[in-house]
Amino acid sequence: MKDETRVNHPPAIELPGDNYPLNLPIFQNVKWETETVLEGERIARGERPGFFYSRLSNPSVRQLELMLAQLQRRDECMVTASGVNAVAQTLIGLTRAGDHVVFFTEGYGPTRQIIRGMLARFGVTHSMLSIDDLEGLERTLTARKTRLVWFESPTNPINKIADIEAITRLARAHGALTAIDNTAAGFHQHGEFDIDLFVHSLTKFTTGAGDVMGGAVIARRELIGQLRSDFRLFGAHLDALSASIMVRGLKTYFVRYRQQSSSAQAVAEFLEHHPACTRVRYPGLASQPKAELARRQMREFGSVICFDLVAGYEAGRKFTESLQLFARTPSFGSTESLAMPPQMMQPKDFSPEDLALSGIGPGTVRLSIGLEDIEDLKADLSQALEKAGQ
């Protein structure tokens, strides 16, 4: 073998059967070979375990998928390149021309834009309700054959709590599937409910470091099987390195989520008693309209707090620009605390009626609480609130 050949055929390394790495190696690899063409064909058709092409499956990615499915108490999972990609591919994969989708005003903007824009262009109709309007949901499901009910709990950004049992019961009675964007609640909550599909942005709590992007859809094996061929054709697969980083990050997931929830509770209580703030919305507050429902459905309440500044829109700019420990940036779930001012919160596609239902006002601010010392965070919020009022 000449050297020019040798460098393209490096020596194989085989580990003894009783000698294995504690962490799965990163399979930074695209192509997989089998000893015979027949076995390669069987793998490609899904007739035996194995790997063929990393756009279809990869050991590093597969480990993450299995872990997420187990945490959410479901059979199967597929991961994608971003959270919004998981939303889009799931909506497109589940619907066709003539189908009807119900979703809710209090929710993630890109999901709303996909349903009202992209799906509408393909002949999928929709109804947009308030997450509190269970009577309206029942009327809609009774009047119109519906393929899918899509919702969030807690909602993004204002932390409304959906009555999951009621929504899933109504949907099931009328033959509709249910999908929940469960990103804010995390991978360990709501699995006991009769929900068909869970969608997550892995960009948030998976690593907590804000260093990789990804999305996931988790469901029973039958539903994932229906979606898999479409997902593969979109080509928005998660890469092996990102998947490996996420598996590593999940090792500290519960420590981070619980501590962030505890700190968020303390910050929400602090803001609730501050004269510069009004309408503080955090599921763990006893003052919330659905506080009892939140306690029944959730074990921890997450890292996101939403509140309004009494002084309004420009006060929000002053407030966030005065913060020293909070980064002014989107997203949540990271180990550092984040703040979104009103200037970044206003929906541009809402009518005045929709905006009133959404709960987003001219002074609405969203915080994501990280792992900093709680007294440091409260001190920073205090000085920023004082400057915002000047």
- Do 276 and 197 belong to one domain? no
What's the CA gap between 6 and 64, in Å, rounded? 34
Per-residue pLDDT, 386? 96
Q: List pLDDT tens digits, range 183-217.
A: 999 999 999 999 999 999 999 999 999 999 999 99
Cis geometry, peptide bond prior to residue 154 (ω within 30 degrees of 0)? yes
- Do 294 and 227 belong to one domain? no
- Do 180 and 274 belong to one domain? no
Work out how many domains the chain is built from and give that number: 2
Per-residue pLDDT, 174? 98
- Do 234 and 258 belong to one domain? no
**Please, which contacts does 115-124 make with residues 24 or more away whose CB atoms are closer than 8 Å?**
115/91, 115/150, 116/349, 118/88, 118/91, 118/92, 119/91, 119/92, 119/95, 122/92, 122/95, 122/96, 122/97, 123/96, 123/97, 123/98, 124/95, 124/96, 124/97, 124/98, 124/99, 124/100
**SS3 category, 79:** strand
> What is the token pair recorded at 72?
């959410």
CATH number at residue 343: 3.90.1150.10
359: left (phi over 0), alpha (psi -120 to 50) or beta: left
pTM > 0.75: yes or no: yes
- Do 151 and 267 belong to one domain? no
Contact 364, 158 (CB under 8 A): yes
Dmax over Cα atoms in the chain, in whole Å? 79
Per-residue pLDDT, 188? 97
What is the separation of C-alpha 339 from the centre of its chain, rounded to a whole number of angstroms?
18
Final residue of a structural domain among 216, 250, 284:
250
pLDDT surpassing 80 at residue 290? yes
What's the CA gap between 60 and 160, in Å, rounded? 36
> What is the token pair recorded at 116?
């009202």
Q: List pLDDT tens digits, range 116-158.
A: 999 999 999 999 999 999 999 999 999 999 999 999 999 999 9
- Asked whether residue 135 is assigned to any structural domain, the reply reads yes
Between 346 and 267, the more confident residue is: 267
- Do 187 and 329 belong to one domain? no
Cis geometry, peptide bond prior to residue 157 (ω within 30 degrees of 0)? yes
Q: Average pLDDT in the 8-31 region? A: 86
Contacts of residue 93, defined as CB under 8 A and 6 or more positions apart, other chains included, come to 226, 227, 230, 231
- Do 376 and 347 belong to one domain? yes
Average pLDDT over all residues of the chain: 95
- Asked whether residue 167 is assigned to any structural domain, the reply reads yes
- Do 186 and 142 belong to one domain? yes
- Do 176 and 287 belong to one domain? no
- Asked whether residue 7 is assigned to any structural domain, the reply reads no
> What is the token pair recorded at 369?
């609480």
CATH number at residue 98: 3.40.640.10
Per-residue pLDDT, 335? 97
Final residue of a structural domain among 232, 250, 268:
250
- Asked whether residue 2 is assigned to any structural domain, the reply reads no
Q: List pLDDT tens digits, range 322-340.
A: 999 999 999 999 999 999 9
As a whole-number percent, the residues of the chain with pLDDT over 70 amount to 99
pLDDT band at 12 (very low <50, low <70, confident <90, very high): confident
Q: List pLDDT tens digits, range 339-378.
A: 999 998 888 888 888 888 888 999 999 999 999 999 999 9
Per-residue pLDDT, 363? 94
What is the separation of C-alpha 79 from the centre of its chain, rounded to a whole number of angstroms?
12
Per-residue pLDDT, 7? 65
Final residue of a structural domain among 213, 228, 250:
250
> What is the token pair recorded at 53?
């092409």
- Do 69 and 200 belong to one domain? yes
Per-residue pLDDT, 278? 95
pLDDT surpassing 90 at residue 16? no
- Do 210 and 287 belong to one domain? no
What's the CA gap between 181 and 88, in Å, rounded? 12
Q: Average pLDDT in the 49-74 region? A: 93
What is the separation of C-alpha 281 from the centre of its chain, rounded to a whole number of angstroms?
19
Q: Average pLDDT in the 261-287 region? A: 97
Range of the domain at 162: 37-250
pLDDT surpassing 80 at residue 390? no
- Asked whether residue 11 is assigned to any structural domain, the reply reads no
Angle separating helix axes 253-272 and 374-388, nearest 10 degrees: 40
